[in-house]
Amino acid sequence: MPPLLQVENIKKSFLQPNQNLFSRKKNTVINGVSFELKQGECLGIIGESGSGKSTLGKLILGLEKPDSGNIYFNGQDIAKRAWKKSAMRKDISAVFQDYNASVNPYFTAAQIIAEPIDIYEKLAKDDRKLRINALLEQVGLDSSFYNRFAHQMSGGQLQRVCIARAIACSPQFILFDEAVSSLDISVQTQILSLLADLQKQLNLTSIFITHDLTTITYLCNKVAFFYKGEIIEYIDSIDKLNQVKNPYSIQLLESVLGF
């Protein structure tokens, strides 16, 4: 089976802020990262704050362009203009950490969920409503949430709405960037359980970016340890976590799992 997502030796730098315009230096954030994912696989990318993992997520989503290297989705380079105009864009979706910043506060849950539907599918009014209610049910919310605004929902409920929006057009790939880290522990467990169910139901390919190893062990079947813009260790099966060699990986495991 060919890979759905291929990341090939990508690099990304940003100019450091400096008062002297002519002496500004570049800060390398991503340095030669490569990996691939096949349909149905879930890769956990774990690293501390500032390691560059969220920048990697933006590159994969096409929100940033790499300085060098390539990212292919279904064989197409996502940095090319043809990709940006392609209907295949609906096959990539995302769920972010800050659910409040991810939604229009003046939108109801139905309007939030319908955003990708209205762009890519343009359903008739009745079909649109049926789809939205089905998506609400799929993420564990009933139809009473249809006309609720963001401020009328808890954090966990609003993140469920964001997940419903992410799966609304049946994407092949979803990137989760710290998608549960701002939620209470009990709510985190509920959302992770929901995501695990959706992975199986929809055969999703996904990347879960986090600083918390316990969430990765719950959801992912592959793990990449990220440090200072590089993948320092890659585990192709979650069952091999106790075989890591890198001191940073070992330290993480010992602090969280007691290996």
Q: What share of the chain is helix, strand, coil (3-state, %, to 5)?
A: 40, 25, 35
What confidence tens digit (pLDDT) does each residue in 105-144 have?
A: 999 999 999 999 999 888 999 999 999 999 999 999 999 9
Distance (Å, whole) CA 175 – CA 159: 14
Q: Is 99:41 a contact under the CB 8 Å cutoff?
A: no
Could you tell me what percent of the chain has a pLDDT over 70?
Answer: 93
What confidence tens digit (pLDDT) does each residue in 40-85 have?
A: 999 999 988 888 889 999 999 988 999 999 999 998 888 876 666 6
**120 vs 163 pLDDT, higher one:** 163
Give start and end residues of each alpha helix (H) in the chain: 53-61, 81-84, 109-120, 125-138, 155-167, 185-202, 213-219, 247-256
User: N- to C-terminal Cα distance for the chain?
Assistant: 34
**48 vs 159 pLDDT, higher one:** 159
Token pair, residue 103, equals: 């939604």
The pLDDT of residue 253: 80
Q: Give the long-range contacts of residues 252-259, CB within 8 A, separation 24 or more.
A: 252/46, 252/213, 252/225, 253/213, 256/212, 256/213, 256/214, 257/213, 257/214, 257/217
Q: Quick check: helix, strand or coil at residue 64?
A: coil
The pLDDT of residue 158: 95
pLDDT band at residue 259 under the 50/70/90 scheme: very low
Q: Which domains does the chain have, with CATH numbers?
A: 5-256 (3.40.50.300)
Amino acid at position 89, single letter:
R
The pLDDT of residue 23: 61
Phi, psi angles (nearest 5°) of residue 25: -110, 160
pTM of the predicted model as reported, rounded to 2 decimal places: 0.91
